[in-house]
Structure 1
C-alpha cells in the first residue's frame, strides 16, 4: 500500500484510483462495507483501490483541547487498511488551508486536480467543504461536471442499531468489548511500542509490557482478558494474556496506561511494537490492603483470562 500525504504532488501511478472518503476511525464493519463497495468499483474499472482520509482527525483540528476520542492511531489505521487490500491511502493533512476550501474548491482542487480520482464512494451522511456546507447532491453535481463518478453507500445497521465509531466508543467506555467487537468485525486493539515502567510487576511475579494510551479513546478502566500480537522482532507472534488499563491505585497518583502480562512468555520487548486486543472485562481497578492480596487477585484474574481465551 502506498501512502500519499500531499494532494499537490501526486505521481501518475497514484492518480486515477477509485477511493472511499472518510475518517475510518476503527475501520469498523460500516467502514468495511464501504471499502468492499469501492473495491468492486475499482475492479470493474481496472483502477487502484484507494482511501481518502485525514490526519489529524478534523475533530482534533477544530477542538484540540477536547478529550481523546480516537479508536486507533494513524499508524494502526493504515495497518488495518493495508490488511483489507487498500492500495492507495491518501492521508491528507487536515489544516487551515484544507478546512477553508469551499465544497466546489474541494471537489476541484483535491478530488479532480490534486488526486485525479476516477470514482469516489461516500457514506449517506457525508458532508464536505468549509463549514461542512457541501452535501451528497452537491458532490454528485460536481462529479458530473468535473469528470469523476460518485457512489453513495448506505449506512450499515447491526443488531443494536447503526454501526458507528460513536457506538463503539460507548461500548468500550462501558466495559463491553464484545459488543464493540460485533461492530468492528475484530477485537478493539490498542497499538504502540512497549515502554519502560517501574518494574513493579516483575517484582510481583507478573512482568508487564507497558504501553502509553495518549491520544486514544479510553475504555473502561480495569482488568481485561486480552490477545497480544507482537508485531516485530525475535518474539513476533500471537499470545494470550491479561492487562490492566488504568492508573494503578496501589501505587499513588499515576498517568493512565496499559500494562499487559503475557502468559508463558520470557523475553525483552522494550521498544517493540505490539497490539493488544480487548476481549473481556474482568473487574474494575481496586486498591488492596496488601501486596499479597493484590498478587492473589492477579492469580485469579489470570486464571479466569486463560479459561476465557482458551474458549475462543
Structure 2
C-alpha cells in the first residue's frame, strides 16, 4: 500500500476514493472499504483513502477530544489489511480547516486525488463550518466529472457501528462487545523496552511495551493474545495503566506476562489483542499484596483460556 503525506504529490492515476477518520476501522468502516475495493476493481483503478492527522476534534477541541482507538500506524496497517491500495494522510491544520467545501472538492478531491468515483458515509460533512454534504458532492461531481455514492450506517443489534460505540464498550470493560463492533478483538501495537524488572522480582516476567497512545481507551488487567513472536499468537495477562503500586509512570504503560513463552524479546514489535477484562487497576499496600493479586490474575487468565 502506498502512503502519501499531504497533497504536494498528485495521485499517480485516477482513483476510486473514500474520505474519513477511520479511527479503529470498525465494521462500518470495513463495509465501506469493501464497497470501495469492489468499485475500484470494476473501474480498474486503485482504491484510495483520504484520512486526517491529527483527528479534526483534536485540532478544534483538544481538551475534550476522545481517546483514539488507533494510532496512525495501526490505522494504516488495518486499511492495508482491508485491501486499500493508496492512503493520503492530510495534515489537519488551520489552513486546511479553512478550505471551503468547493475548494476542498476542486483542490483536494479533483486536482490532487484525481477522483473518478467517490464513496462516503451517509453522515459525511466537509469544508469550513461543515458546510458541504452529499448534495454538494453530487452537484460538483456532475460538473467536474466524478461519480458519488453514499453508504448507510451499519448496525449491530440496533446499535450503529461507530468509533464512539467501540470506545464506550472498551471504557466500560465490555471487550467482547467491542470485538463484535470491530469485527476483531481490539488491539494495540508497541515495542518491547527495558523496564525496572519489578515483575521479575515478584516472580512474573513481564514484557514492558512502549505504546504511542497517550490516552488509551481502556485501562486495567486483561486476558490477551500477543502476535509478533515465534510460534504465536501467545496468551498472557496484561496490565495497561499507570502502575499505582510500583514506580508510577506519567504515560500509560502496557505490561504483559506471557503464559507460554520465555525468551529475550527486547526490541520486538508486538500486537496485543485484548480479549477479556479481569479488573481495574488498583493500588496495593505492599509488594506482597501485589504479588498475591498478580498470581490470582494469572490464575484467572488461565481459567479464561481453559488451561
Shared fold per TM-score greater than 0.5: yes
What's 2:277 paired with? Answer: 281
Q: Given that residues 174 and 219 in structure 1 are in contact (C-alpha distance below 8 angstroms), is that contact kept between their aligned partners in structure 2?
A: no
What's 1:249 paired with? Answer: 244
What's 1:271 paired with? Answer: 267
Q: Given that residues 4 and 10 in structure 1 are in contact (C-alpha distance below 8 angstroms), is that contact kept between their aligned partners in structure 2?
A: no
What's 1:116 paired with? Answer: 114
User: Is 1:155 aligned to 2:153, yes or no?
Assistant: yes
Structure 1: 5+ residue stretches without partners: none
The alignment yields a C-alpha RMSD, in angstroms, of 1.9
CA distance in 1, matches of 2:154, 2:216: 25
Alignment of 1:207-218 (within 5 A): 207-218=205-216
- State TM-score, norm by structure 1: 0.92
Alignment of 1:119-268 (within 5 A): 119-230=117-228, 235=230, 237-251=232-246, 253-255=248-250, 256-268=252-264
Runs of 4+, deviation exceeding 6 Å = none
What's 2:31 paired with? Answer: 33
User: Is 1:9 aligned to 2:9, yes or no?
Assistant: yes
SS of the aligned residue for 1:276 comes to: strand
Q: Note closer, same or farther for the CA distance 1:309–1:49 as it changes in structure 2 (3 Å cut).
A: farther
SS of the aligned residue for 1:251 comes to: coil
Q: How many residues align?
A: 306
Q: Given that residues 61 and 94 in structure 1 are in contact (C-alpha distance below 8 angstroms), is that contact kept between their aligned partners in structure 2?
A: yes
CA distance in 2, matches of 1:67, 1:212: 22
- State TM-score, norm by structure 2: 0.93
Render the CA deviation track for 1:88-147: whole Å, top value 9, x for unaligned: 111122122221111001000000011101111100000001121111110111111111
The CA deviation at 1:252 is 5.4
The CA deviation at 1:9 is 1.4
The CA deviation at 1:237 is 3.7
Q: Note closer, same or farther for the CA distance 1:254–1:6 as it changes in structure 2 (3 Å cut).
A: closer
Structure 2: 5+ residue stretches without partners: none
Render the CA deviation track for 1:22-79: whole Å, top value 9, x for unaligned: 1100000000000111112111111111111111111122233445511000000011
Q: Note closer, same or farther for the CA distance 1:268–1:5 as it changes in structure 2 (3 Å cut).
A: same
Q: Note closer, same or farther for the CA distance 1:2–1:236 as it changes in structure 2 (3 Å cut).
A: farther
CA distance in 1, matches of 2:207, 2:89: 30
What's 2:57 paired with? Answer: 59
CA distance in 1, matches of 2:11, 2:110: 14
Render the CA deviation track for 1:189-228: whole Å, top value 9, x for unaligned: 1112223322101111212222344545434432100111
